[in-house]
Amino acid sequence: MLPFPAFIPAHYQPEEKDLISMNSHMKDLETTINQLAKKGKGILAADESMATIGKRFEALKIESTEDNRRAYRELLMSTPGINEYIAGVILFEETLNQTTSNGMKFPDFLRSQSILPGIKVDKGLIPLINSTDEQATQGLDGLNERLAEYKSKGACFAKWRAVYAVSEKTPSRMAVKMNANSLAHYAALCQANGIVPIVEPEVLIDSNHTIERCAEVTENVLHAVFHSLHKYKVKLEYIVLKPSMVINGKQCPTKASAEQVGKMTVMVLRRTVPAAVPTINFLSGGQSPEEATANLNAMNMLAGNPWNLSYSYARALQDYCMKTWKGDAKNVSAAQAIFLQRAKLNSLASLGKYTSSLEKETSFA
């Protein structure tokens, strides 16, 4: 068996039954996207795999048991007032099937707080064959059936992540094309099931590339993604784009300012993303909480953007909260206060109203 998902032919077209199904779900898609695209609100990514959250827990000496994972995610979702800043939460499959301490299913609990439940549907990354240091995303096999199951359990939007390593030779044309087709195939299946797809092409920042090189790669990636979305007849009005920001690599000796990140990110988006896309919710991709907030704010300081520019952060929303909680029930209230403040700051950034002086109000040290 080849160690990557089956390649999707360029001539693929959704079957007629899929198009009919999507049209019948149009009202569901419209209702969901209208809430996810609300100004001043973002999406919480709480969909870390067991391996990922296990590493984060381990660093804080928290045992990664099912109950601890459930308790931590309940802490996030039950934060008083969080629905002022969070429109939806991306869940891991384990959480979708869990209940709160009061016995309510998490999707039902979120809806009771006027927050939409979503679900991560990809099955993670595997090496891309005949390539070096590149990865492909698996999970298309059986996805249609899984989407129907997830919807029956309350999920109304989904997420699929593709990653692109940056070097002088990568991403390769093969990786760009394959990931674009996988993202588009996934998005078409989501819409056919009445589920809004989050399309997540992440240009990794683990190398020493400059912000200019990141802009070049991001433009090529987004061009390919939207070309494939068009081929697969995906309705752009009912997707959430979740890209990485245009930013220098972590090992680059020249660090870009927030103003540079904002200007170059918006420049690339204007060249590649149709105005039909209602909302672009960025991933933080290894940035510090403060950097992710400042960079988002810089984008929203620029006038004339046709899309809502907001956030879909994981660590940039959760980091200080988790460090405050430490797995101890007595720290829940303090951790929730930190989480609420971080969400509020990003809400302000999504409106172009954030200033760094507001960070002083955050009590985490």
Largest CA distance in the chain: 57
Residue 25 banded pLDDT, cuts 50, 70, 90: confident
Q: Does pLDDT of 14 surpass 80?
A: no
pLDDT score at 18: 60
Confidence of residue 365 (pLDDT cuts 50, 70, 90): very low
- pLDDT over threshold 60, residue 137: yes
Predicted confidence at residue 360, as pLDDT, reads 77
User: Is 8 a residue whose pLDDT tops 50?
Assistant: no
Q: What single letter denotes the amino acid at residue 321?
A: C
Structure confidence at residue 10 (pLDDT) = 45
Task: Name 282's bridge partners.
Answer: 311
Q: What pLDDT score was predicted for residue 13?
A: 57
The catalytic site residues sit at 200, 242
User: Exposed, middle or buried: residue 87 (CB in 10 Å: 0-12, 13-18, 19+)?
Assistant: buried
Q: How confident is the model at residue 132 (pLDDT cuts 50, 70, 90)?
A: confident
Question: What is the predicted pLDDT for the residue at 59?
Answer: 96
Tokens for 67, please give them: 């109950």
Contacts of 103 (CB under 8 A, 6+ apart): none
Rounded CA-CA distance 333/160 in Å is 32
User: What is the CATH T-level fold of the domain 16-361, as seen in this structure?
Assistant: TIM Barrel (3.20.20)
pLDDT in tens, 156-185: 999 999 999 999 999 999 999 999 999 999
Note the pLDDT tens digit of each residue in 97-106. 999 999 999 9
Cα–Cα distances in angstroms (integers) from residue 115 to residues 17, 35, 40, 149, 209, in the given order: 31, 9, 14, 20, 38
pLDDT tens digit sequence for 310-324: 999 999 999 999 999
Cα Rg for the chain, rounded, in angstroms?
19
- Rounded distance, CA 63 to CA 74, Å? 16
Q: Model pTM greater than 0.85?
A: yes
